[in-house]
């Protein structure tokens, strides 16, 4: 249980740090595009920011899935 919680918290912390660095780095990007979601468009966002957010979501979902699928530890 402690191993799962530690892995989940480490994954959340890593994803949070990646998102912070991404937000700081995306401020100076000039080329911005809007995404068409079918029901509307998003605000114009830099292309690197969109790719970075998908990477952060992948790190977060992969870490939480690894924490959930970890076999139970025998004491």
pLDDT tens for 24-43 read 887 777 778 888 888 888 88
The pair of three-digit structure tokens given for residue 58, joined into one six-digit string: 């992948």
Instruction: With respect to residue 2, please indicate whether it lies within any of the assigned structural domains.
Output: yes
What is residue 75's predicted lDDT score, i.e. its pLDDT?
59
Looking at the 3D structure of the chain, how many domains does it have? Answer: 1
- pLDDT beneath 50: ranges in the chain: none
Indicate whether 29 belongs to any domain.
no
pTM, to two decimals: 0.74
- Say if 14 falls within a structural domain: yes
Domain around 14: 1-21+61-70
Residue 11's closest CA among 43, 74, 58, 69? 58
pLDDT of residue 9: 92
Tell me what pLDDT residue 52 has: 87
């Amino acid at each position: 249980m402690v191993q799962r919680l530690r892995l989940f918290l480490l994954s959340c912390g890593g994803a949070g740090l990646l998102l912070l660095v991404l937000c700081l780095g995306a401020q100076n990007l000039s080329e911005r595009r809007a995404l068409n979601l079918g029901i509307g468009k998003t605000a114009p966002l830099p292309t690197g920011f969109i790719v970075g957010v998908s990477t952060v979501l992948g790190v977060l979902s992969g870490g939480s899935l690894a924490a959930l699928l970890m076999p139970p530890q025998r004491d």
